[in-house]
Amino acid sequence: MRGIKFEAELDRAFARWATTVPGGERIRECIQCGACSAACPMSGYMDYTPRRIIALVKEGFKDEVLSSRTIWLCASCYACAVECPQGINITDFMYALKERAIKEGRYPKGLPTPIYAQEFARLVRARGRSTESLLVIRAALRLNPLRLLKLAPLGLRLLLRGRMGLRPEQVRDRAAVRAMLTASENAKSREE
Q: Give how far Cα 21 sits from Cα of 12, 92, 99, 154, 187, Å.
A: 15, 9, 11, 40, 13
Least distance from ligand SF4 to the Cβ atom of residue 99, Å = 15
Backbone angles phi, psi at 159, to 5 degrees: -65, -45
Nearer to ligand SF4, 9 or 29 (CB): 29
> Are the C-beta atoms of residues 68 and 113 closer than 8 Å to each other?
no
Nearer to ligand SF4, 34 or 112 (CB): 34
Per CB under 6 A, residues contacting ligand SF4 are: 30-36, 39-42, 50-51, 54, 74-80, 83-86, 88, 90-91, 94
Nearer to ligand SF4, 76 or 182 (CB): 76
Q: At what angle do helices 132-143 and 112-127 cross, to 10 degrees?
A: 130
Least distance from ligand SF4 to the Cβ atom of residue 126, Å = 29
Least distance from ligand SF4 to the Cβ atom of residue 125, Å = 25
Least distance from ligand SF4 to the Cβ atom of residue 84, Å = 3
DSSP track, 51-73 = HHHHHHHHHT-HHHHHT-SHHHH
- The b-or-e profile of 33-65 (16+ CB within 10 A means b, else e) is eebbbebbeebeebebbbbbbbebbbbbbbbbb
Least distance from ligand SF4 to the Cβ atom of residue 65, Å = 13
CA atoms of 97 and 63, how far apart (whole Å): 11
163 SS3 class: coil
Nearer to ligand SF4, 22 or 165 (CB): 22
